Each structure stands twice: as structure tokens, then as C-alpha cells.
Amino acid sequence: MKYRLLVIDANQSKWRIEEGNWIGPLDAVIDLNNRLETWRMKPLDPEIPFLIGWGRLVGGNLMGVHRAITVFRSPQTGTIHVSAMGGAGYRFMKSGINGITIIGKFRNPTIILIGSRMGKLSVEVNETALDRLWNYGGHTGIEAAKQFLLDTYWDFISLHRARPIITGPAAATTVMGAIASYDVDYGKKSFKPGAEDFAARGGGGSTLLQGHNVAVMLIGGDSEVSGPRINEVDQVFMRKMGKPYIATLSEKTIKYRFDPQLGTGGTFGVNYVHYRELIPMFNFQSIYLSLEERKKWADAAIQYFWKPFQEEAFIKSRSWYNCGEPCSVVCKKVWRGKKIDYEPLNAVGPYIGVFTLGDAVKVADEVDNYGFDSIEVGYDLGLAFEAVERGLIDPSEAGLSGRPVIDPSSYDVSSSESNAALALEGVKAMVKGEGLLGRIGLIGLRQAAIERKLNDYAVYVPLGSRYYMTPNYYWAPGMVAPVYMLGRYWTNYNPTFMDPGEFAKSVYSRALMELAIDNAGACRFHRGWLEPVIEEAYGLVGININIEKFAASLYREFAEYSRRAGAMPMYWESKRTSDMVMSMARELGAKDWIERSPREWYDKFKETFDALVNG
């Protein structure tokens, strides 16, 4: 069966169905962009397709395969970027299509309603005023938009069991706006706790709103979708894994549900006790600290940041939820009504000198409500905080009213509250275009840092002459290595240091499998059981595929597009970034590399990696 895309022509307010022999959203979008030669265009050009799609394994008894995958030309990276949100595909698949592509730009901000009833697809387009959407019912930002949708479009939402994707104010004025999605409780006319996710990395919300004038989409329907059934799934798992599907799934997802050895679960619960002194803190100044000093701050993070979460989410109660699809992993751990994940909270927590969970959650709420990529915001605030504390710029030049404390040699946990208050100011400054942080919001971290000669204190990978991506919060060379999909987990992100040639091989191997997982619309938390059987799983829906060859070919296409778009990885122009890599050699006692040049490591990695990519 062909992959069916709903193609919306925003210029004409018309739509059509286009079918192709695509496996999933990633190869579909590469094909569309190559046909349109979009590498010749600027990232926010309306003629570049924005795609949101789901994989071929939906609709059956497999769990964790109902992610919605957004693929777009990123205003940050300058090339095609992939971002995902959990569970949304479980509702979206009922529209009877495999994905949605938007080309062109509506005249005014628009809400798109996509539904299916008794096999008939409908598309409705309504203009909206952003001021009303983001200022409604006594709320602002995305919280206002959520209430507006419930009050204004409840009949559609209820009839089609629709789920929204929503942009916030950050999408209108910055290059790092996210896309938010929330599952609906149709019985209570409300949104479910914890059942939310953001496709945030790369600025997909900015692309959707600034490039196409789409503020909100509501997607649902009643189409029957058939997928792999449990009896045939079990046969595959007994043959390949020696045990039934559910038993395998439970074993492979233990970190994300509950790890009895650690007494906790979820990314937040596990990472702080697992990585401890390797957790990035203080705008990555932690890499310069001794092991004893880092242990001190790891203990502080456990005491003030992790323990309050642990006590309420695991000891007093078990407020665990899923992302909106039926899934036994229930990875969404909620603390006082807030879904707590490692990276968004570390970004506005220890990374910027906020070690008290309650204060960090206040900042995280603000970041989410504006519709920002929280990972990116952490790096932006971290740079501004350090630049101000070092006296390189005045607080007012940064968009702040006072001086933060982010130097670990003078920091005390008591500074958490004041740092969080300044972070709240900084987030507003980014939206309003005020100071350094406003400049970062407008043109991105790389260019803004270079303008103020602050790039040595920023952490990012340069792409081409003007683009960039910030890494996920792991002290790991693979997060800033010169690869062709950054800001995702298409890499080896273990805290390790290897010969760069050998390391490149491990990164390439992981990149291919992570690509395959994304193209299947699968959750990374389920990769442990899906990767060994992915070809057999596709076979259950009639697709015969050699996953390694397919992924290698498609990854090569991503790399070629980046080359044509002028967004190839460049050598690190930030000392903090190169130090992040070479300090790992010191940490792990890699004596052959401790005194050698980071450029030597970079060049050898890139030479080996590019040779693998080019076949």
C-alpha cells in the first residue's frame, strides 16, 4: 500500500492527496524537497514543504509506534530537520492518511481542521487572530490557545476525536519556536495530564507559523487502521528474541517505566543518579571542575532537584502517564501537575544554576507556554548568564535586570531562586527582542554570540556560514561531532572517548538505526525491542525492506541536501565546544589524546564518517 499524503496548497487554500512508494515521513520529505530543489531557497521560504507524518506500523498491537514526526527546513540548521512528538500519531492516523504536507503561505494566521468521517476526508481552513489565540480566557500563550480550542472547536474535536498541534508566541518572533501537542480527555472536555509532547528541536513551530502562517492544526477521524496483531507479533518475537512481545518490551523499557535497581524511572529519575557528576551544569563550565567538585554539585542536584521529584512521583504516589497512545511504559512522570523530563528541566535547572526543582519548574512552565525549544533556551540563557557574570556585557545588554551567579567557584544553591527569576526575564526578552537574548531569539545563538564576541562561551556546532545546532544535555563527543542530523540522538551519545576513526563508525551505525526508528514513527524508548525485529515488523504490514541499506541511502540523501543547502558541519568555532570533547579524554584517561589538538580529532572523525556516508 502506498504512503498517502494530504498536500495543502496554502497559497490557493486547496488540497489534494498525493501517493508515493515511500516507507515513511523521512524518505517522503526528502523526495518532495529534491523534486522542488528547495536547497536553492532560504529556510523560511513558503514553497519548502512542511511535513508531519507517522509510520507504517500504526493501528495494531505494537506499542510506542505512534509518534508524529515533523520534517522541515530548519531556520537554525539551514537544512532538513527531524523532530518528533509522542503519541500524537495515535489520533492523527484516524484521519485515514499517512501524513500532511503544507506548501505555500496563507494570507493570515490560520487554524486547519482535518477530519475523516465514514471514509470521507475533510479539510477546513479558518483564519485566526494571534492576539486572541494567545490571550484568551484569562490565560496567555499556549495555555490560552488550549482553552480557545476547547471553547471554539469542541464540536469538531469531540466528533473526530481530534488532537491539536499548537504554536506559541516564540514561533512568531524567534527561530526556535516549538510545536506542542496535547491529548484530549473527550469525556471531561479537557486535556489529559502528562499526555503532552513537543516537537521542539530545530524551530519547527517557527517554520510552520512564519513560513506558512499555520498557527494550529486539529487532526482526527474515525478511519479504521489495521496494523500488526498480537498473535503474529508474538510469533516474530518468539523466533527472534526467544520470548513473547510483552515480556521483551517490559525488559527493554525498564529505564523509562521503573528501574527497581535504581528505585526510580523516566529520563529525569534515572539520569541524575546514573550520570551524576557527568551531568552538564553551569553552562558546561562543569567540564573544567575536578571530579570531587563535580561530585559536590551532583550531590546538590540529587538533594534539591531529584529528591523532591522522587518523593512525590515514586514514593508518595505514582503519577505516571503515557503520551496519548496505549502504552504500558507510562514514561511521563508528573510532579505537581508538571510532566518532568531530564533535558527540559536540566536546561532551566543545574545548567543555568538553578538547583531547586520548584524554581526550575516555574521557568520550564514559562518556556513551554511561550512555545520554545527548552533545550535551546538553556544554552541561550547559559551564555547570557555567564557573559554577564564575567562582566563581558551589562545585565541590561543581555535583557536582564540583575547579575546571575553561574560560576561554580562562587555559586551557592541559595542563588537558585534569583537565577530562576532572571531566567524568567530572559525568556520574555527572547520573545520581545530585547538585548542579547532577544537577538539570539531573532537570529540564533551562533550569529548573536559572534556579533558580541562571546562565541567561546557558547556551546553549538556550526553549520555552513551562518547556521548551527545546540547539543542535547550529555557530556559526550558524539553530541557535537560533525554529523548530518544534530540536536537529535542520531549518534553515539555515550560519555566515552575513542579513537576518532573508530568512534565515527559507532556514530554512523547508531545514526542509521535512529533514522530508521524515526521513519517508523517509533519512540526511542522502545528502540531496545524494535531494532532487532524492525524488518520483520515491516513484513507484517507487507513491506519488504533491508533496513541497513535503506537507512544508509536515505542518510546519504540528508547529507547531500545539507551540502547543496550550504549547511555542512564546520569545525568548532567555540572553545567551550571543543573543550567539551577534549575534556572527555582527560576524564577517561585517554592519554594518547589529552595533549593533542581538537582539530586533529575532528578531522579524523569527519574523514572517516564522510567516507562511510558516501559509501
- Helix (H) / strand (E) containing 421: helix 416-432
Does residue 56 have a pLDDT over 90? yes
Fold adopted by 259-443: 1.10.569
Measured in whole angstroms, the distance separating CA 92 from the mean position of its chain's CA atoms is 19
d(CA 209, CA 44): 10
Distance linking the first and last C-alpha atoms of the chain? 30
Mean pLDDT along residues 163-170: 99
pLDDT for residue 318: 86
C-alpha cell at 312: 512525590
Q: Which helix (H) or strand (E) holds 239?
A: helix 230-240
Name residues whose C-beta falls within 8 Å of residue 523's C-beta, 6 or more positions apart in sequence: 64, 65, 67, 86, 323
For residue 573, pLDDT over 90 is answered with yes
Average pLDDT over residues 179-185: 98
pLDDT exceeds cutoff 90 at 445: yes
**Three-class DSSP labels, 266-317:** HHHHHHHHHCHHHCCCCCCHHHHCCHHHHHHHHHHHHHHHHHHHHHHHHHCC
Distance, in Å, from the CA atom of 361 to the CA atom of 212, rounded to the nearest integer, reads 32
The letter for the amino acid at 275 is Y
In this prediction, residue 97 carries a pLDDT of 98
For strands 179-185 and 139-140, give the pairing: unpaired
Rounded Cα–Cα distance for residues 343 and 346 (Å): 5
Residue 447, H or E segment:
helix 445-451
Is residue 316 scored above 90 in pLDDT?
A: no
What are residue 467's DSSP bridge partners? 463
Query: What is the spatial distance between Cα 278 and Cα 271, in angstroms, rounded to a whole number?
Result: 10
For the chain, give every domain's residue range.
3-219, 259-443
- Does the domain at 3-219 match CATH 3.30.1360.200? Answer given as no
Average pLDDT over the chain, rounded to whole?
98
Query: Which has the closest alpha carbon to 122: 130, 135, 131, 113?
Result: 113
Average pLDDT on 312-339 reads: 93
In total, the chain counts a number of residues equal to: 615
Residue 309 grid coordinates: 521529584
Whether the predicted model's global pTM rises above the 0.95 cut: yes
The C-alpha cell that represents 614 in the structure block: 558516501
* pLDDT tens digit sequence for 367-402: 999 999 999 999 999 999 999 999 999 999 999 999
Q: Nine-digit cell at 202?
A: 530545530
d(CA 134, CA 173): 14
Bigger pLDDT: 581 or 315? 581
* Residue 410, burial from CB neighbour count under 10 angstroms (0-12, 13-18, 19+): exposed
Tell me what the mean pLDDT of segment 578-599 comes to.
95
